[in-house]
Amino acid sequence: MNPPVSQGMPQATPAPIHDIVDAVPLPFVPFWVWIAGGAALALLVGLLIWWFFFRNRRAELTPRQKALLALGELASAGVSGYEFAVKVSEVLRSYIETVYGLRATRQTSLEFLEAIQANRVFSEEEKQAMAEFLETADLVKFARQDLGESENTKLRETALAVVQKGEERK
């Protein structure tokens, strides 16, 4: 309850009430600007949806597909015998390391051959082919022996055979 108001006490003067003022005019924006802004916003929303939901859904290549693609690119690249032998060896070693868990890229050829001798995944024919492959690749890499077109083709075919046989095992 309010205290009684005495006649002698001063009262607060209420603030004057002002009348409503006319509407403030806003700047005119043409209709096409609203359409363009809406289209830009829709495009931005669409890109954000794609970015969050669809960018990572690209099919990841299997190790076999990566190896076959790399070997196919080497065949058509027309690189020198040295570079060809090094790259084919890298592709095959990376494939074997990825698929079979052998430390092929971090071992010497002799260490790698000893590791696959104990591994029953590879047939004796494949072990012999890989031994010949690594011997040829080492001659090129370390002795700088130049290979002809037929030796390059044989290296590539050996690598292709190992990669393709690997898929048959699975």
Domain coordinates in residue numbering, the chain: 30-59, 63-169
Calpha distance 116→99 (Å, rounded): 13
User: Which residues in the chain land under pLDDT 50?
Assistant: none
Q: So what's the pLDDT on residue 56?
A: 65
Say what the pTM is. Answer: 0.61
Q: Using one digit for the tens of pLDDT, what is the confidence trace for 74-121?
A: 777 677 777 888 888 888 888 888 888 888 788 888 888 888 887 787
Q: So what's the pLDDT on residue 36?
A: 94
Q: So what's the pLDDT on residue 37?
A: 93
